[in-house]
């Protein structure tokens, strides 16, 4: 483990390792239930915090802010705060976010397509 730091790895090697761990990190951020549901809910629309809270069924206040921060940090969603009172904060997907949304749509489509199939498999397994 530690020895790897001294085995004369090239600069390219280091870059690859870093890119890999970064990719893995992003994958972990994104491959999570709430993040994907938020992205799906946003779609092409611009929604307020409270609207999102209603759209994403079952999400808690905390999880929503937490995931929105994460999406914003990774540049998948844009946060626009209007300096009014009461405050009004709107969220929109960025281009990378919209690109990812396409894949989420596919997963949703997949889910509905194989719903019956999966239900049957479960019944068979649970015996």
Residues that bind DNA (CB under 7 A): 32-34, 48-50, 53, 58-63, 65, 68-69, 79, 81, 86-89
Q: If we measure between CA atoms, which residue out of 9, 7, 8 comes closest to residue 18?
A: 9
> What own/partner pairs with CB < 8 Å and gap ≥ 24 does 60-64 have?
63/34, 64/34, 64/38
Query: Is residue 17 a contact point for a second copy (CB under 8 A)?
Result: no
Query: Is residue 4 a contact point for a second copy (CB under 8 A)?
Result: no
Contact between 60 and 105 (Cβ < 8 Å): no
Chain residues binding a second copy by CB under 8 A are 19, 22-24, 26-28, 30-33, 36-37, 57, 72-76, 96, 99-100, 102-103, 106-108, 110-115, 117-122, 124-126
């Amino acid at each position: 483990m530690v020895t790897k730091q001294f085995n004369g790895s090239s600069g390219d090697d280091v870059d690859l390792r870093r890119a890999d761990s970064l990719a893995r990190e992003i994958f972990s951020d994104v491959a999570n239930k709430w993040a994907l549901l938020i992205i799906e809910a946003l779609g092409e629309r611009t929604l307020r915090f409270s609207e999102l809270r209603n759209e994403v069924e079952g999400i808690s206040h905390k999880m929503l802010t937490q995931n929105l921060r994460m999406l914003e940090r990774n540049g998948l969603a844009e946060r626009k705060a209007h300096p009014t009172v009461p405050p009004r904060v709107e969220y929109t997907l960025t281009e990378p976010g919209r690109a990812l949304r396409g894949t989420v749509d596919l997963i949703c489509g997949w889910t509905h397509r194989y719903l019956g199939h999966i239900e049957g498999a479960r019944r068979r397994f649970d015996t």
